[in-house]
Amino acid sequence: MELEGFRELGLGEESIKALREKGFEEPTEIQRRAIPLLLKEGTEIVGQAQTGTGKTAAFALPILETVSQNGKVQALILVPTRELASQVSEEMSSLRGTRHLDIAPIYGGASMVQQLKRLKRGTEIVVGTPGRVLDHIRRGSLDLNELEFLVLDEADEMLDMGFIDDIEAVLRAVPDKRRMLLFSATMPPAIMKLAEGFMKNPEIIRTQKKDTAAISTDQIYYEVREADKLEALTRIIDREPDFYGVVFCRTKLQCDEIGQKLHDRGYDAASLHGDLSQREREQILRRMKEHQLSILVATDVAARGLDIQDLTHVINYTIPQDPEIYIHRVGRTGRAGKNGTAITFITPSESRKFAYIRKAARSDIRKEEIPRAEEIIEKKKERIKESILDILEGEAKPEYMELAESVLAGRDSTEAFALLLSSIYKNELDASRYKEISVAPQKAKREKTRRDKREESRNRERYDRVKSPSMDEGGKTRLFIARGRKDGLTKGMLINILIDQTGVRDEDISDIEINDTSAFVSAPFSVAEEILKAYSDRTLKGKPVIMRAKPEGGVRDSRKKASGRKEAFRGKGKRRRKWEDDYQPYGRDTRDGEDGRYSFPDRKRKRRK
């Protein structure tokens, strides 16, 4: 019998009909385990399931089977983002079949007046974000006296976004008789504490890893310079005949930058992040779902919970901050048994961090070389040829035969056909459209260069160590940089500049301090010499941009002034760099020099009053 797996869970024919129309075939693990429990009266659930495993249907179907049409709110689903509120609302609407149940999305950024009217008119199910739901509760516009189900969807994300106070306020406002369902991709202690405080003997469901999308996702990574990422991205897009994917960036500004660059190059791309109005977001998502767009450039928060079917690719333009984020991103493609591809760009300095992500995520991620321009051109030629051969299988209309004969009269047919193709496809087969991608620096060569430089300075090192006033106890030199926070300088930006301009390693740079108008770093003596040499001819008002720090501006006194501590700072060697030190609000694509290299931002002038 059709959809027998769902029937065995206890669902009625109305639900089976809706599932058939949506193309469901077999229940996922979270659906098999959660639905029978939720169809029983009084059962509460804590469910752990990754993105793309069908957990929305797991709680939506039992709710739709249980609530009645009376205009009273009987189910409240809390979600972290506006996009997820719209998605869950749409998903539940598609599963209700012919049942006359009203499902209202309630979230910030939308018209409060329209929401008030809809709630006053009567609705059975509310899907909303914690802040806006709490607003309605306090206004008295959201009556929860008849509430039967309270669902926390993507609970870990809501806690990460700082909604814990709002969530607890909502939980305290709902009647005790309600049933609480909590769904989360991860189960940190804060989630279990929330469950213990507000739930009564819940059933714990943890789905197996085999249900995650990574099983059907081909995972690849490319090692590429930051300056070459956009070129690598366009090559990957052009290599695929029907690219339809999400490109993940770390910041909103970088999201806009990459989205605009892709659009300028002729790609159907748009960016999605938290600074857009709700109307703009809904328009972009609608265009993406209708395949008017093929590329969505998004931040993790904006893309949380997005339900876009049949994605062929997920591109990690910036490396995820941790394994959980990587798993969430990869989960956007390869859903429902369909194959997808997840690609991650990493810079040479991010190798160790990515190795940790690979190990923690337990994912088989293979390294590949960026496609060559010639390879992409050949792929395009094959696609054009196949398309033309398909057309030639048809039968030409007589009126066009006469026109063709007239045009080709006295002309070489091959040359004429080539001219026609060049007019249609223009410069699609022009390899010069692709910029050269630099080969990642060979570690052995770089190490040899550094060893040679260190050897040259070794004879002077002992003498300078004694004489240098900026040398600390750990054998390092403290350097002063004549740029600071007010100039837009960040830790990540400073590291990039030094690595790119001088060739030093990021692990050689420590004790980074960014002040309003200046910055300080520490580096081993020989490394500091390389930096000073590289910047010996770069000045600001006649003074070097980088110089040895004076004793009163050194590592001890600068830290003392900045923090107000009485006890002098004593350097104890290189500190372990944190991942957030690489955070770059402007994205690593932002460069000042025409040669594509990183450089210090210009000193900002004070505005005249």
CATH code where residue 302 lies: 3.40.50.300
Where are any strands of DSSP class E within 214-319? Answer: 217-223, 245-248, 269-272, 295-298, 313-316
Nearest to 152 by CA among 118, 121, 187: 187
Q: Which of 25-39, 132-146, 581-595 has the lowest mean pLDDT?
A: 581-595
- Cα 228–379–388 angle (5° rounding)? 140
What sign results for the dihedral spanned by CA atoms 309, 159, 163, 274? negative
Most confident of 77-91, 227-241, 553-567: 227-241
**Total number of domains constituting the chain:** 3
Q: How confident is the model at residue 459 (pLDDT cuts 50, 70, 90)?
A: very low
pLDDT of residue 462 exceeding 80, the answer is: no
* Cα distances (Å, whole numbers) of residue 230 to 112, 219, 235, 237, 500: 41, 19, 9, 11, 18
More confident residue, 173 or 473: 173
| pLDDT score, position 563 | 46
| pLDDT score, position 577 | 43
Residue 481 maps to a domain: yes
Residues 288, 150 within the same domain = no
Q: Give CA–CA dist 107/104, Å, rounded.
A: 10
Residues 206, 217 within the same domain = no
Task: Tell me the CATH number at 530.
Answer: 3.30.70.330
Q: Which of 40-44, 419-423, 536-540 has the lowest mean pLDDT?
A: 536-540
Where are any strands of DSSP class E within 139-225? Answer: 149-152, 179-184, 203-206, 217-223
Residue 68 maps to a domain: yes
Residue 424 maps to a domain: no
More confident residue, 134 or 333: 134
Percent of the chain beyond pLDDT 70? 79
pLDDT of residue 553 exceeding 70, the answer is: no
Q: What average pLDDT score do residues 288-313 get?
A: 83
CB 100 within 8 A of CB 126: no
Residue 568 maps to a domain: yes
3-state secondary structure (DSSP) of residue 279:
helix
Last residue of a domain, one of 315, 335, 370: 370
Relative to beta strand 519-524, strand 510-514 is: antiparallel
- Cα 190–193–197 angle (5° rounding)? 140
Residues 152, 239 within the same domain = no
Sorted by sequence, the CB contacts under 8 Å of residue 73 that are 6+ apart come out as: 123, 124, 125, 126, 142, 143, 144, 146, 147
Nearest to 228 by CA among 315, 346, 343: 346
Q: Give CA–CA dist 34/94, Å, rounded.
A: 20
Residues 185-233: tens digit of each pLDDT: 888 888 888 888 899 889 999 886 543 444 468 899 999 998 899 999 9
Question: Ramachandran region of residue 291, left (φ > 0), alpha (ψ -120 to 50) or beta?
Answer: left
Residue 176 maps to a domain: yes
CB 440 within 8 A of CB 223: yes
| pLDDT score, position 585 | 37
Residues 183, 255 within the same domain = no
- In the Cβ-directed half-sphere of 59, how many Cα atoms lie within 13 Å? 31
Residues 40, 184 within the same domain = yes
Q: Compute the mean pLDDT over every residue in the chain, rounded to the nearest whole number.
A: 80
Last residue of a domain, one of 211, 235, 257: 211
Type of residue numbered 452:
D
Residues 358, 266 within the same domain = yes
Residues 143, 264 within the same domain = no
Residues 183, 303 within the same domain = no
| pLDDT score, position 149 | 96
Residue 382's H or E segment, with its range, is helix 373-392
Residues 74, 53 within the same domain = yes
Q: Give CA–CA dist 383/410, Å, rounded.
A: 30
The interaxial angle of helices 13-22 and 55-66, nearest 10 deg, is: 150
* Cα distances (Å, whole numbers) of residue 264 to 259, 432, 479: 9, 17, 41
Residues 584-608: tens digit of each pLDDT: 333 333 344 434 455 676 655 544 4
Q: Give CA–CA dist 305/51, Å, rounded.
A: 8
Residues 140, 262 within the same domain = no
pLDDT of residue 464 exceeding 50, the answer is: no
pLDDT of residue 324 exceeding 90, the answer is: no
pLDDT of residue 274 exceeding 80, the answer is: no
The pair of three-digit structure tokens given for residue 582, joined into one six-digit string: 């690489």
Last residue of a domain, one of 336, 370, 404: 370
Q: Give CA–CA dist 323/343, Å, rounded.
A: 15
How many other CB atoms are found less than 10 A from the CB of residue 127? Answer: 28
Residues 251, 171 within the same domain = no
Nearest to 41 by CA among 62, 20, 58: 62
Q: Give CA–CA dist 162/209, Å, rounded.
A: 28
Instruction: Name the residue range of residue 308's domain.
Output: 213-370
Q: Which of 8-17, 117-126, 136-145, 494-503 has the lowest mean pLDDT?
A: 494-503
Q: What average pLDDT score do residues 22-26 get?
A: 78
3-state secondary structure (DSSP) of residue 454:
helix
Residue 185 maps to a domain: yes
pTM across the whole model: 0.48
Q: What average pLDDT score do residues 108-125 get?
A: 92
CB 267 within 8 A of CB 294: yes
Nearest to 199 by CA among 231, 217, 174, 218: 174
| pLDDT score, position 156 | 86
Nearest to 590 by CA among 277, 333, 256: 256
Residues 188, 233 within the same domain = no
CB 121 within 8 A of CB 70: no
Q: How confident is the model at residue 357 (pLDDT cuts 50, 70, 90)?
A: confident
- What DSSP character marks residue 118? H
Residue 303 maps to a domain: yes
What sign results for the dihedral spanned by CA atoms 7, 9, 13, 15? negative
> At which residue do the structure tokens 């993940």 appear?
248
The pair of three-digit structure tokens given for residue 169, joined into one six-digit string: 């306020």
Nearest to 304 by CA among 279, 330, 327, 329: 329
Residue 540 maps to a domain: yes
